[in-house]
Structure 1
Amino acid sequence: MSVYTPLVTVLSHLADGLRPLLGASATAAAIVLFTVCVRLALHPLARAAVRGERARARLAPRIARLNARHRGDPERLRAALTELSAREGVSPVAGCLPMLVQLPFFFVMNRLFWTGGGGLLGHATLLGVPLEGRWAEALRDGGPFGAHGLVFLALFAVVAVVATWTYRRTRAAAAAASGAGALGGVAAVGPVGGGAVARMTPWLSFATLLTVAVVPLAAGLYTVTTVTWTAVERAWLSRERQVAPGAVASTG
């Protein structure tokens, strides 16, 4: 049995259930619905990641002092940081867990759609555009503003809005962290090249535009759905994190 068989089976059942309402677009809706269900199942890991980020922010002054104390001794610094993380119950990989767990699913979903969907896509369409189709084919069929091209332009628009929002939030968060560090007299210390990585990170969300432009429409739907979910989820969890201290203060 192929690794794709269970996935194709689940998506097929979802599409069959949605077909009376959505017709030929039922498979596209099934892809979106299934992606949302997977991300919802991973939500507890996202919450754990945010708690880990909060704990690391709380430990930032102590980490900076350890960096300064053991600047010339990487081994002692590594041991001290490991001891601090263990003592405070902070996992250095907690923030990466949602992404790490998603990677196999992301690979399988994209591989499935790149290879034709294991018979799933067939004659399935989204507003008349074949789910196996790509933007280049839409451009040949009617140009960017043709019937097929407009569906891809809609996906591009969603990605652009989400990427811009993510970019602004990331920049604002980085500026706030720098300001807090400066006010507290804590220098930002990180690995070599960390500054370059930090400058590049806000721009990474725009790479999704390139992904949607080259993958089949089915894979583009999956990508747009998961990127949008990530942005909304992060914003919601950040809002919870900001509201919580105020709620605690008001009850004290």
Structure 2
Amino acid sequence: MNIYDFAPIRALINGAYWVVTALSELLAPLAGGASAALAVILLTVLVRTLLIPVGRSQVKAGITRERIAPKLQEIQKKYRKNPELLQRKTMELYAAEKASPFAGCLPVLFQMPVLMGVYGLFILPEIGGEPNELLSRTFLGIPLGTGFLGQITAGEVTWTSALVFLAIIVIIAVVAQFSRRLLTPPTPPQQARPEPQPGMPAMPDLSGMMRVMSFMPFMTAVIAAFVPLAAALYLMTTTAWTLVERLVLRRVMGATPIPKA
């Protein structure tokens, strides 16, 4: 089943298409031919603004993990020779702190349909049974529906399009590096994870997932080379927004600065 045929996702796309079209027409007298590209950026900002409560939940979960990390390491060191007691003490710590190792995962799942719906706006050739006119609009002479690698394959790449796409990719990569330096805590020494005891849940090991997640912004830079220009602008804007949002929320919520690795 095509996810974009799912009624709620289709409704999100139709709504986003109406908003970006209205914004483009509103901006046309000021931005001229760049109005559609600017409308894409503004739509992305609008969506990310609406998702600030989701970002706050993720930041709160991250702060909680940072706060209890020293206690977890102490427990692992103290009870490493007693797997059953280690597991019980770990779960007791999470309960005492009113925390969960999976905190922050649900907000991510909640925002995915919204972001997928908005992203679909930039890749679907038709919306509501009509041609997606957004993809035929241009930015600096580059069609918003054309991707960088697609232009290279077709032999249509120009100096302007190469510079625009490379600028977007570099911006995403630079933001990704700042995100890793400013938002990713140092990885603690790997500890042996005990086997679950009968009748007790297994202790989740999220270290591998956290390492993979820290590299996701760099994957976004790679993806930007494959997707249409409209989607690349969306990825650039949402990546930059995420970094600024996390830094601001951490400061507002009184988080301790993350030490440099």
Sort the TM-score into its range (normalised by shorter chain): 0.7 to 0.9
Contact (CA 8 Å) 2:169, 2:222: kept in 1 or not?
no
Which stretch of structure 1 is more off in the superposition, 61-70 or 111-120?
61-70
Q: 1:202 to 1:126 in 2, by over 3 A?
A: same
Give how far 1:159 is off.
0.9
Counterpart of 1:23 (choices 16, 26, 32) is: 32
Aligned to 1:209: 221
CA distance in 2, matches of 1:198, 1:63: 16
- CA deviation digits over 1:191-230, x for unaligned, max 9? 6875544544433321112110111111111111111111
Aligned to 2:182: 169
Aligned to 2:244: 232
Aligned to 1:250: none
CA distance in 2, matches of 1:97, 1:8: 27
TM-score, normalised by the number of residues in structure 1: 0.74
Give how far 1:41 is off.
1.7
Q: How does 1:41-52 map to 2 (within 5 A)?
A: 41-52=50-61
- CA deviation digits over 1:30-60, x for unaligned, max 9? 1111111111122123223322332333333
TM-score, normalised by the number of residues in structure 2: 0.72
If each structure's helix is expressed as a fraction of its own residues, which one has the higher value?
A: 1
Q: 1:166 to 1:54 in 2, by over 3 A?
A: closer
Unmatched segments (≥5 aa) in structure 2? 1-6, 194-202
Contact (CA 8 Å) 1:28, 1:131: kept in 2 or not?
yes
Which stretch of structure 1 is more off in the superposition, 198-207 or 4-13?
198-207
CA distance in 2, matches of 1:209, 1:59: 33
Q: How does 1:193-204 map to 2 (within 5 A)?
A: 194-204=206-216
Aligned to 2:103: 94
* Residue 116 of structure 1 pairs with residue 129 of structure 2: no
Q: 1:10 to 1:56 in 2, by over 3 A?
A: same
Aligned to 1:249: none
Count of matched residue positions in the alignment of Structure 1 and Structure 2: 232
Which stretch of structure 1 is more off in the superposition, 192-201 or 108-117?
192-201
Unmatched segments (≥5 aa) in structure 1? 246-252
Q: 1:164 to 1:34 in 2, by over 3 A?
A: same
CA distance in 1, matches of 2:143, 2:98: 50
CA distance in 2, matches of 1:93, 1:196: 14
User: Percent of counterpart pairs with the same letter?
Assistant: 32
Which stretch of structure 1 is more off in the superposition, 61-70 or 32-41?
61-70
Contact (CA 8 Å) 2:150, 2:226: kept in 1 or not?
no
